[in-house]
Amino acid sequence: MPKIKNNIDRVSKRIDQSATECGRAPSDILLLAVSKTRSTDEIRRAMDAGLTHFAENYLQEALDKISQLEDEDLHWHFIGPLQSNKTRSVAEHFNWVHSVDRLKIAQRLNDQRPEELGPLNICLQVNIDHEPSKSGLPADAVLTVALEVVKLPNLRLRGLMAIPQAEPSFEQQKIAFQKLAELREHINQSLDNSEKLDTLSMGMSNDLEAAVSQGSTIVRVGTDIFGKRE
């Protein structure tokens, strides 16, 4: 199954090219493989191609894979909707959570994070298009939550995440990503040097070029690595 490796090579080239075009270092952008619905075999193919960061949306499915791959040196990112009753398992088994959209969830993750694992990396999810049906904090509420989350000792607030509406053109895709980048700048003005946000988790299979052009540091790619999901 050389397909996954070929796909990863192709996605990596797209990232490198987009970064180079706007004067960024390709190494500043992490390719996060979204492995929801994929088997551990498929994850191993991606590992063989050099990837070590994997993202999951569904907790039980994720916990099964994490335990099957526990001997590997992998970094697990939780990117799905997060309810209060799931925070303990997430705090115990993941390195990153991108989908924090309420202070209460952050507080629970902080209280439940095992100290020996070190701080859990957090992104606040922003509803950047103001879509009523979508999860994520409204843009104008993010600063207030961020200023509380940075006080939590077992969390490290790294940045912002968004899943913008699908747009057909590069120019249209750029708009939401630019808004998220500006929001990070705005928040950073209120943070101490040691607390400044260094992460923008934005860009997926169809819009990663536009995201990289606006400063993305983590692109979350599923389909273009593993193929279409069932």
Ligand X SMILES: *Cc1c(COP(=O)(O)O)cnc(C)c1O
Amino acid letter at 130?
Answer: H
Strand partners, 60: none
Residue nearest to ligand X (CB): 222
Amino acid letter at 161?
Answer: M
Task: Please give the residue ranges that form the binding site for ligand X (CB under 6 A).
Answer: 34, 36, 57, 79, 163, 204-205, 220-224
Nearer to ligand X, 150 or 202 (CB): 202
Question: Closest separation between CB of residue 135 and ligand X, Å?
Answer: 10
Nearer to ligand X, 14 or 220 (CB): 220
Question: Tokens 């200023």 map to which residue?
Answer: 147
Question: Closest separation between CB of residue 25 and ligand X, Å?
Answer: 23
Nearer to ligand X, 17 or 223 (CB): 223
Question: Closest separation between CB of residue 210 and ligand X, Å?
Answer: 13
Could you write out the DSSP letters of every residue in 83-133? -GGGHHHHHHH-SEEEEE-SHHHHHHHHHHS-GGG-PEEEEEEB-TT--TT
Question: Closest separation between CB of residue 19 and ligand X, Å?
Answer: 18
Task: List the one residue out of 197, 66, 182 whose CA is nearest residue 121.
Answer: 197
| Alpha helices, DSSP H, located in the chain | 3-21, 40-48, 59-68, 87-93, 103-112, 142-149, 170-188, 208-213, 223-226
Question: Closest separation between CB of residue 187 and ligand X, Å?
Answer: 21
Nearer to ligand X, 38 or 150 (CB): 38
In whole angstroms, what is the distance from residue 10 CA to residue 123 CA?
A: 27
Nearer to ligand X, 19 or 33 (CB): 33
